Amino acid sequence: MPDEQTTPEQGGAQSEEAPTADSSNEASASRRKPSSGRSLGWWAVCFVLVVLVLIIGGYGCLLYVNLNPDIGPDGFQVRRVASTASKHLSSDPSVTSAEATGAEANINGSSVTVDAHLKDGTSVEAAANLLASTRQKTLQEEPDYSGDFIISVSWTVKGSTIDVDVSCQRDPEAIRTDVKRALTPVGEAKVFTGSIDAYTELTIDYGEVTALPTSLTQPSVPDSSKTFTMNGWKVTSTPKTDGQFSNPPFDQIITAAGQASPTGTIDLDGTTLSVTGLATDENKGLTPDAAAPIVHTVNNCQAAGLTTLKLNDGAKKEPSSDDHWITFVCKNGTWASQFDSPSPSDTEILNKAAEL
């Protein structure tokens, strides 16, 4: 039929339209190529940003942990040390209670504190062995821990009350030796407070006595003091750096000091003896009559193990100012003024002492 016939013009038109479609596809493809390039670059930028975030975040976390060690490995370590120590102490039949009261890591260092209460009557040797074994146990569990490690131990034995902090961040045998040495006066001294080789001084208090304690000159740990009160005079004796005590005749010193005043203080710090309370009149200060008996009592300074004698010159003044001291030094076994040209008061006191 005429309508179904295709004229040459129509066939030519169709043949011309075909390449037009191909050209359109090519143009579309060419338009998509740049889009594909932008997508790859976008992902590359995202990847770089993620890496930067991870790096910055990692450094931030590391910095935060360094500034707050308690949330990092150091914090876990101190808690493990505290847990190990408290569990080991609790397992001993002589311990009534043991609790970790401190486990902290900060930029200044790490510290562990454990409180332990022993059964009353526990011997000093048993306590020393227990503390040493606790340290040994923590060494086995956490050999790299190097922070502070304090065990606060308390109990009563032979009439002595003990409440001390013991530094346990050291050799177990040293712990055992120092605890036994520090607690030697148990049974004679009334109270033990402070610490053994830790951050405070160990104070051994004999209380009110009528005679000198027999263990007064027995060696102790270096950072310690022994104190007692006798006839109104409070005496404090501190050892030399090796833990040895000088041995002046405290009973005779108290008798001599009592001639000037009913109360006062006598302090022995290593090889220096200081007496406060001899001067009772603010207007007169320290008189030769009050000072001479003390100088005479310890006239053999070398035998007493003394190098310096200090007498407080201020009436009822605490020994807090060098302005109120008359000081003598031991020379050739006898006392002499600390000055090459002695003051009149120094000379008067020394002459008066020589007459006694």
pLDDT 10s digits, 184-225: 999 999 999 999 987 789 999 999 999 999 999 999 999 999
List the CATH number of the domain containing 191.
3.30.300
Higher pLDDT, 285 or 271: 271
Higher pLDDT, 40 or 28: 40
User: Mean pLDDT throughout 63-80?
Assistant: 70
Regarding whether 243 and 189 lie in a shared domain, the answer is no
Cα 210 to Cα 224: distance, rounded to the nearest angstrom: 23
User: Would you state the structure tokens that stand for residue 87, as one six-digit string?
Assistant: 């569990």
Number of helices (H), then strands (E), in the chain: 8, 13
pLDDT of residue 2: 45
Domain membership of residue 34 (yes or no) is no
Mean pLDDT of the chain: 86
Regarding whether 157 and 250 lie in a shared domain, the answer is no
**CA torsion angle for 311, 314, 316, 320 (degrees, to 10)?**
-80
Regarding whether 243 and 202 lie in a shared domain, the answer is no
Domain membership of residue 137 (yes or no) is yes
Q: Quick one: what percent of the chain has pLDDT higher than 70?
A: 83
Contact call for residues 300 and 332 (beta carbons, < 8 A): no
Cα 219 to Cα 240: distance, rounded to the nearest angstrom: 10
Range of the domain at 153: 67-206
Domain membership of residue 111 (yes or no) is yes
Q: Quick one: what percent of the chain has pLDDT higher than 90?
A: 66
pLDDT of residue 310: 96
Number of domains in the chain: 2
Regarding whether 73 and 198 lie in a shared domain, the answer is yes
Which of the listed residues 190, 206, 222 is the one where a domain comes to its end?
A: 206
Contact call for residues 226 and 216 (beta carbons, < 8 A): yes
pLDDT 10s digits, 127-153: 999 999 999 999 999 999 999 999 999
Which of the listed residues 206, 240, 269 is the one where a domain comes to its end?
A: 206
Regarding whether 235 and 202 lie in a shared domain, the answer is no
Regarding whether 305 and 180 lie in a shared domain, the answer is no
pLDDT of residue 340: 84
- In the predicted model, is pLDDT for residue 16 greater than 80? no
The model's pTM = 0.79
pLDDT 10s digits, 275-332: 999 998 877 889 999 999 999 999 999 999 999 999 998 765 555 555 689 999 999 9
pLDDT of residue 67: 54
pLDDT of residue 94: 98
Higher pLDDT, 242 or 49: 242
User: Mean pLDDT throughout 220-248?
Assistant: 95
Domain membership of residue 275 (yes or no) is yes
Regarding whether 154 and 87 lie in a shared domain, the answer is yes
Domain membership of residue 226 (yes or no) is no
Regarding whether 236 and 130 lie in a shared domain, the answer is no
Four-residue CA torsion sign, 78, 192, 218, 303:
positive
- In the predicted model, is pLDDT for residue 93 greater than 80? yes
Cα 194 to Cα 238: distance, rounded to the nearest angstrom: 14
3-state secondary structure 126-155: HHHHHHHHHHHHHHHHCCCCCCEEEEEEEE
User: Mean pLDDT throughout 180-187?
Assistant: 97
Domain membership of residue 18 (yes or no) is no
Domain membership of residue 138 (yes or no) is yes
Regarding whether 253 and 199 lie in a shared domain, the answer is no
Regarding whether 237 and 179 lie in a shared domain, the answer is no
Regarding whether 351 and 308 lie in a shared domain, the answer is yes
- In the predicted model, is pLDDT for residue 232 greater than 60? yes
User: Mean pLDDT throughout 92-110?
Assistant: 92
User: Mean pLDDT throughout 72-94?
Assistant: 92
Regarding whether 267 and 157 lie in a shared domain, the answer is no
Domain membership of residue 290 (yes or no) is yes
